[in-house]
Amino acid sequence: MKQTLLSLSNLSKQFDGKTVLDSLDLDILDGEFITLLGPSGCGKTTLLRLMAGFEHPDGGTITLASQDLTHTPPEHRPLNTVFQNYALFPHMSVFDNVAYGLKMEKRPKEEIRERVQEALAMVQLQDFARRKPHQLSGGQQQRVAIARAVVKRPRMLLLDEPLSALDYKLRRTMQVELKRLQRELGITFVFVTHDQEEALSMSDRVAVMKDGEIQQLGTPREVYERPANLFTARFVGETNLFPGLVEKTNGDDTVTVDVFGLKRTFAKPDFPLRDGQSLHVLLRPEDIRVLSPEASDGVSGKVVERNYKGSTLDSVIHLDDGTEVLASEFFDEDDPAFDYRLGEPVRVSWVDGWEWLLPEEASPVGEETNVDA
Amino acid sequence: MTRWLPRTYLTLVYLLLYAPIAVLVVFSFNDSRTGYEWGGLSWRWYESLFNNRAMVEAMWNSLWLALSAATISTLIGALTALALHRYRFRGKKALNGMLFVVMMSPEIVLAISLLALFLLVGLQLGYVSLLLAHVTFCLPFVVITVMARLSGFDERLPEAARDLGASDFTMTRTVLIPVIMPALLAGWLLGFTLSLDDVVVSTFVSGPSYEILPLRIYSMVRVGLKPEVNALGTLLLMFSMVMLIMSQWILTRSKQ
């Protein structure tokens, strides 16, 4: 079983009296790819900077393999960082950039040359050693930054939104590259991003953050399919949240819920329920079934928007009571002409068992609510 | 009409700018004693310039003064700029403002106050008083040049260096200073030029023991314009052009 490599316990950080991190606990396992995911200002970058040693916590401890790192300066921590805008040294060649960390360790010249070449080969830049950073494209600079950080063979690599400056296609390529590197090197990766798609596709575990607290920590599948709260549900992926009302809890660990007048039977959630309680029924766009207006099941509405996405057809449907529903359907090979007209009347349903129930939350004033929009 | 008008205008502007300099250069090779008739090509004024021992000495004095003033103000100025850029401390705004006061205040005011100060502390007027005065008025220019470069400096670079195992000192030596080097050179050149052609402040704080070039020229011209001055002006012009080309060369090279 994997062991804990870095342990953050009770970490707090304030900037000018504003709490950025609030007594946060997180254990990072040896060899895993963990992503800190959250909107800007959620504290994910601050958390990463605390691990790197660029900031000092106001409280709490950071332990790496039972060695206390809380007040160790960055140059003495066995972890390295890939910065958002790469932070390559502009006056040095690619070779010297990558060699910098090894020169600081006072390694022999021959070893430095070998290891730098090896690192550059790993990111497919062996022919660019003599270039200066400004002669490279964004993607190449990114690779140099990665080579520079891994050449020291750190216990852990910290990546601060490393792909955010790249265009979409390059980003996808680099995502695959990073995964490959992580597998080959066996180094623990801590990856910071605000891009939920990136987080889901790359990570072993995702920590969803908001307001300096971890909202949920779990595998991408857990976070997407079984979000711990409304914030995670909305932040990770597209979401339909339908208002539900508990009709009655049944003996066989099921519960009957009224959703838009439909009586549905769901598996009992792990939070306490009582009859007459309102809750949220979460359904992802791909869980939605769009039926013909003659169907007996479902809630009636009409198509107000359709988006051809190549492999899926995404549509927005307004139910009769005004609720907006997002639906994403795969093309059916039997029906190549499958499409909707705008304004077309349909009925909306879903497959029972694909829903996820969440308790109602007292949402703070001013917070965006797209539940009943 | 529309084509030649801007050209004529531009020609006139450049004529106005460069004609006096051209006249100076041409007449430095004039064999005639007077400044308004052409007596053929000659090196005689350059010769008499270099035979003028007082003049040559003033030239060396000036160069040495400019060199030392520029170097000292670059050292102090760079550290000041770094402190103003990196740290937050009480009185930072005041310190910043005071630099501008020195830069904006009339030179004559600076000259009188420096003289008053030197007399008060009993400092003998000469090289040291000149040096102190020149460092004073060069300093703000160096600070502002270096600060401008630092404001565009990527704050992640020092962090990247630390992250890779460099101590604060090693980071400063291997990353910070090389990156701001163009600004240090530019600041140094600015200080050098300012010091070399300063008249007002120098008039007040120099003594008979250390005569410098601008003052020497000034006193020469007062008794009548000697063609030697033309030759000297041409040499200075050449010198500043070489410096300018050098600084441009360093700047473009550092960008690559």
Name residues 84-103 of chain A within 8 A of B (Cβ). Answer: 84-85, 87-91, 100-101
Query: Parallel, antiparallel, or unpaired for β A356-359 and A278-283?
Result: antiparallel
pLDDT score for A80: 95
Is the minimum CB–CB distance between A105 and chain B shorter than 8 Å?
Answer: yes
Structure confidence by residue, pLDDT tens digits, B132-185 = 999 999 999 999 989 988 888 888 999 999 999 999 999 999 999 999 988 898
- Distance from the Cα of A91 to chain B's closest Cα (Å) equals 7
Name residues 266-325 of chain A within 8 A of B (Cβ). Answer: none
Residues with Cβ < 8 Å from B207, sequence gap 6 or more?
A: B124, B125, B126, B129
Q: Least CB-CB distance to A75: which of B157, B167, B256?
A: B167
Is the minimum CB–CB distance between B178 and chain A shorter than 8 Å?
Answer: yes
Name residues 27-86 of chain A within 8 A of B (Cβ). Answer: 52-54, 73-76, 80-81, 83-85
Structure confidence by residue, pLDDT tens digits, A23-38 = 999 999 999 999 999 9
Q: Give me chain A's average pLDDT, please.
A: 88
Please give the span between the terminal C-alpha atoms of chain B, in angstroms, as a whole number.
43
What whole-number distance in Å separates Cα of residue B149 and Cα of residue A46?
A: 27
pLDDT score for B90: 87
Mutate which of B155, B164, B179 to test chain A, going by most A C-beta atoms within 10 A?
B164
Mean pLDDT of B48-70: 90
Contact between residue B190 and residue A105 where contact means Cβ atoms under 8 Å apart: no
Residue type, A69: L
pLDDT score for A252: 79
In degrees rounded to 5, what are phi and psi of residue A70?
-50, -40
Least confident of A33-37, A306-310, B232-236, B249-253: B249-253
| DSSP of A257-318 | EEETTEEEEEEPPSS---TT-EEEEEE-GGGEEEE-TT-SSSEEEEEEEEEE-SSEEEEEEE
Q: CA of A154: which chain B residue's CA is closest?
A: B164
Is the minimum CB–CB distance between B156 and chain A shorter than 8 Å?
Answer: yes
Q: Is the pLDDT of residue A3 over 50?
A: yes
Domain boundary assignment for chain A: 4-233, 238-359
CATH code, residues B52-254:
1.10.3720.10
- Minimal CA–CA distance to A46: which of A30, A66, A26? A26
Is the minimum CB–CB distance between B154 and chain A shorter than 8 Å?
Answer: yes
A368 — pLDDT class (breaks 50, 70, 90): very low
Q: Least CB-CB distance to A104: which of B166, B179, B181?
A: B166
pLDDT score for A367: 44
pLDDT score for A366: 43
A273 — pLDDT class (breaks 50, 70, 90): confident
A134 — pLDDT class (breaks 50, 70, 90): very high
Is the minimum CB–CB distance between B88 and chain A shorter than 8 Å?
Answer: no
Residues with Cβ < 8 Å from A173, sequence gap 6 or more?
A: A139
Judge: B159–A91 Cβ closer than 8 Å, yes or no: no
Q: Give me chain B's average pLDDT, please.
A: 88
Q: Is the pLDDT of residue B254 over 60?
A: yes
Structure confidence by residue, pLDDT tens digits, A185-206 = 889 999 999 999 899 999 999 9
Q: Is the pLDDT of residue A285 over 60?
A: yes
Q: CA of A99: which chain B residue's CA is closest?
A: B164
The first and second tokens of residue B196, run together, are 């070399």
| DSSP of B188-241 | HHHHHHHHHT--HHHHHH--TTS--HHHHHHHHHHT---HHHHHHHHHHHHHHH
- Minimal CA–CA distance to B202: which of B34, B61, B19? B61
Least confident of A156-160, A292-296, B97-101: A292-296
What whole-number distance in Å separates Cα of residue A265 and Cα of residue A257?
A: 6
Q: CA of B158: which chain A residue's CA is closest?
A: A87
ipTM over 0.90? The verdict is no
Residues of A in contact with B167 (CB under 8 A): 75
Mean pLDDT of A169-183: 89
Judge: A87–B175 Cβ closer than 8 Å, yes or no: no
- Percent of chain B past pLDDT 90, that is, above it, reads 41
Q: CA of B175: which chain A residue's CA is closest?
A: A89
CATH class of A4-233: alpha beta
Eight-class DSSP state of B173: I
Mean pLDDT of A270-289: 87
What whole-number distance in Å separates Cα of residue A189 and Cα of residue A33?
A: 5
pLDDT score for A370: 42
A105 — pLDDT class (breaks 50, 70, 90): very high
- Distance from the Cα of A86 to chain B's closest Cα (Å) equals 8
Contacts 24+ apart (CB under 8 A), A309-313: A312/A286, A313/A338, A313/A339, A313/A340
Mean pLDDT of A46-50: 94
Domain boundary assignment for chain B: 1-41, 52-254
Residues of B in contact with A93 (CB under 8 A): none
CATH class of A238-359: mainly beta
